[in-house]
Amino acid sequence: MEQTRTLSPRTAVIWAVLRAELDRRAGERLSVLDVGGGTGGFAVPLAEAGHRVTVVDASPDALAALTRRAAEAGVADRVRATQGDADALTGLVEPASVDLVLCHSVLEVVDEPEPVIAALAGALRPGGAASVLVAARAAAVLGRAINGQLAAAAALAADPHGTAGGRDTLHRRYDADGAGALLTAAGLAVEEIHGVRVLADLLPAAVADGQPAALLDLECALAAKLPYRDLAAQLHLFARRPA
Ligand SMILES: C[S@@+](CC[C@H](N)C(=O)[O-])C[C@H]1O[C@@H](n2cnc3c(N)ncnc32)[C@H](O)[C@@H]1O
């Protein structure tokens, strides 16, 4: 599965968390739902590992790319591409039918995150797990300030949703407490929170490209440690629907 691919600072920590869950359920063919799964960066490797994956995404183009990618990987029979809206999952996926839900880089672009989380929690079987990746606020403030965009950094720091105004492509960004509270309110028990890309976006390209293995090791070492976790570009939350 992911071991056969080049892990990057964008994916290594997430795969480490997912691998632990897959190992815990070794021998089972899991039902996986990837909400806003796009072109299948996670869905296809999970299908290659033997699991059945449904990707629900609003974009027909993304789903077409997913379908091609799944066919090229020889797993078209285990990947279902469904066009639909993340907050209308109840009409697309049977309630309490899924073992693992992924929702990566979606909550910051939808109109309302609460119904999306409620819907994906409802899709989970009791004991099923959710992997949720969100944009983090602190890194966005620091990133703009480091790039000399001090007004945008100040606006983003002051905005209750963590956006930088009209040109910002995201509707919101999170800190760990806020993201955790969102999942908890939907009845999920948060088990782990990691930072994704603690350093990768801050380093000069020559360092990141020149020492990729050392960077990956350091990202993995810092991902769960405070204060580094909370300075990461993204936060990964792993939560479970109580059995
Ligand atoms: C930033 S991409 C993330 C893709 C993938 N999850 C990943 O991490 O690589 C966001 C995806 O969410 C999809 N999306 C945005 N709003 C959505 C909605 N309301 N319902 C379903 N999918 C949505 C987009 O089409 C896009 O594929």
Q: Verify whether ligand 1 is closer than 6 Å to residue 41 (CB atom).
A: yes
Helix (H) or strand (E) holding 69, with range, is helix 60-72
Q: Verify whether ligand 1 is closer than 6 Å to residue 137 (CB atom).
A: no
pLDDT at 6: 61
Residue 70 CA to chain centroid, in angstroms? 20
Total Cβ atoms within 10 A of residue 66:
25
pLDDT at 89: 87
Handedness of CA 2, 219, 232, 152 (dihedral sign): negative
Distance 214 CA to ligand 1 centre (A): 31
Distance 111 CA to ligand 1 centre (A): 12
CA 142 – CA 230 distance, rounded (Å): 12
Q: 143: exposed, middle or buried (C-beta count within 10 Å: 0-12, 13-18, 19+)? A: middle
Q: Verify whether ligand 1 is closer than 6 Å to residue 195 (CB atom).
A: no
**What is the value of pTM for the model shown?**
0.95
Task: Report the nearest atom of ligand 1 relative to the CA of 38.
Answer: 27
pLDDT at 4: 41
Distance 105 CA to ligand 1 centre (A): 7
Cβ atoms of 241 and 125 closer than 8 Å: yes
Q: Verify whether ligand 1 is closer than 6 Å to residue 180 (CB atom).
A: no
CA 133 – CA 205 distance, rounded (Å): 24
Please choose from 109, 111, 131, 170 the residue to mutate so as to test ligand 1's pocket, defined by most ligand atoms within 8 A of CB: 109
* Upstream peptide bond of 227 is cis (omega within 30 degrees of 0): yes
Walk along the chain (243 residues) in steps of 10 and give the mean pLDDT of each run. Answer: 66 96 96 97 97 97 98 97 90 94 97 95 97 98 94 94 87 97 98 96 90 93 97 98 96
Distance 183 CA to ligand 1 centre (A): 18
Q: Verify whether ligand 1 is closer than 6 Å to residue 65 (CB atom).
A: no
Task: Report the nearest atom of ligand 1 relative to the CA of 85.
Answer: 20
Distance 61 CA to ligand 1 centre (A): 11
